[in-house]
A and B are shown apart, each in its own frame.
Chain A
């Protein structure tokens, strides 16, 4: 019986430890007009990364799209995203909330 309890306890500890790693925040797909070279993409990513709650930003330059992944429980405000893209010198074309678990890949 003790073995079963110990195994169950260990499993709960492992699951508890790994849970944050598997937790996925909300993802957003931003269409950014004007983005046409790698050096300019950095400015867009940096400005978006400065928004509170942003965990990760990834650009697909071919598609003119930027995927923003938020921290668990955080949401991206469209106005803040538009301002960040504007501050980088470009234009926000589209703002789409991705389905849960979708990282845009």
Chain B
């Protein structure tokens, strides 16, 4: 190839040609996963280096865009950048113009841990601070995105469970730089809880990624929630998502719907309670009448027992019982069975041969009369003879 055939450029022409090539041959928008290095604010614009350790490229967030970002990257943060290539033809320098920057999951979790640690050390996160939720709140505030499927689910659940509670819905933004707005809303509402008759607050946000919930790890927001004048219930994201707001809340529900379930009673269960009370009312009436009737019977009996005739009858009965006892203990029972009672002339009972001698007169009493006898002979039994 001869030198004459090579394209010839001025520097400006070359740079313009490179810029044109990049413009035509590269995606107008792309996502870049990177770590932020040396972020610096200059004249309101944020300049930073985006690196993955092996390679790096400079980036910029123009001031107008920077104001809209919900998250300001710090040195070392993992981020996902929505960007486009920016080529300056004058110096042939290339950089990424960031249209949006979101923290990566690792950055979100690192912030979560940092805020959690700070608030735990200060005692702001402390299970002993948790307040009991009202049993049947008359009015509750629901802070969530409007309209949203989370709100629709919560309204449906509330209507099914406990329509007696008034719901005061306060819309909050959930995308972008929303922490200051939510904080302002929370502070204004806190001043009016008594006026509005609020008994609890639900802070809810439906699904999305954990990164989308990063605003609920905001330290200032969580401090307000921890000291809120009424009990706070959170229902943020999915069941597995845990934010610092969940840790400072009085009750953490897994989802927005679960937050309503936790706060509002079940009217079907309440109906059961009403039926039980209805039974108790009826039982109270019937039971009381039965008890009073029994008391009346007891009194009638007591009165009857105090009458003179009854007393005489009772004493007769007692006498008859004693008579029976006397008869049972009398020796006549033994005489009836064929045994006899022997006594000497003096009337002393004879129970052995020692008190008897030949010629003594004895009286032998039997069941139907008495024999008089004289002792002719004494024969000891063999056992007594030997002794």
A and B physically associate:
no
Q: Which residues of A contact B (CB under 8 A)?
A: none
